Homo-oligomer: A and B are copies of this chain.
């Protein structure tokens, strides 16, 4: 009935919106991690010369958009639409970055699923012919997140072993239509025919986890649900993908994901990697791994897309998960709902 709807929650993008370029800006701990050399800019000082971490975070958001635009020779202010968000209250990093860039802007909030939500809506805008060029960005910052969600760093609180470390990082992907690229010869193509071909819009799932220090466990059910729905909607199996990438489940959450998938008769085999486990090494003292909406944004935009470009892998199911709690809901005794959105990103051999 809908030519671009597939199954219960999924959509296809027949015109294959292209990822023309990406850019990443990260903090020093991320720069020292296993994929540190893949990031465009590693900040030595996580205030980046600003007088607050919040101002540094918005600067990271803004400059990841500018850098990604510069790389492909698109003027940032000429973008048809900026899409994205962050996890600070009232989305201030995204909003203030959009103020600086002066392009049309749609603010999104999907907690740590925001990067994929932005890519999903961005691909609809391009494929639906509502835009020729869009940016999709997500950004988080360890110090601002600790201050807002846990306790200010100055208090020196102890973290339980199930905790994850919020990634200081901003990642942007520039999506364009084939036609735009064809008509604008001045654009540089950083990647050769890497496209977003399909996606799945997540549902909010809640299995009753209440521990705000074990968010990987809260998000694993949403990831398992979206993976199952995606495979069903397209009548595919795990074998159809080179990698199934989750956003920031961390080590405990990843174990739980594998178990939950097994219960659904889905064997992830060796196909699953989690960005929260990829960005940090175990000897970095980050407990259960990375988190925050910047985690999968920079891991994809900095590292995974280069593996796609190199032909090391040909396609991924990119599933970003977000916990939809607030400090208030935790204090009011609520359980922690979560959501996972997915996009299929592949290299098209022409």
* Contacts from A to B (Cβ < 8 Å): 1-5, 9, 11, 52, 54-55, 80-81, 85, 87-92, 95-96, 98-99, 102-111, 117, 120-121, 124-125, 127-132, 177, 179-180, 183, 201-206, 324-329, 332, 334, 337, 339, 341
Contact = CB atoms under 8 A, between A and B. Distances in A.
A95 B202 CA distance: 12
Contacts of A106: 108, 110, 117, 120-121, 201, 341
The listed residue with most B CB atoms (<10 A of its CB), out of A125, A202, A206, A341, is A125
A9 B130 CA distance: 10
Contacts of A99: 204-206, 324, 337
A177 B4 CA distance: 13
Nearest to A120: B106
A325 B179 CA distance: 37
Copies in the complex: 2
A105 B204 contact: yes
Given A98-B204, A121-B106, A332 B55 contact: yes
A54 B341 CA distance: 26
14 contacts: A2-B129, A2-B177, A4-B130, A87-B90, A92-B324, A95-B324, A98-B204, A99-B324, A104-B201, A106-B108, A106-B201, A106-B341, A108-B109, A128-B129
Nearest to A101: B204
Nearest to A183: B1
Contacts of A183: 1
B204 A130 contact: no
A310 to B, nearest CB: 32
B129 A5 contact: yes
A145 B102 CA distance: 29
The listed residue with most B CB atoms (<10 A of its CB), out of A9, A128, A177, is A128
Contacts of A206: 99
The listed residue with most B CB atoms (<10 A of its CB), out of A9, A80, A102, A107, is A107
Contact of A324 (B91, B125, B204, B327): B91
A17 to B, nearest CB: 12
A102 B90 CA distance: 25
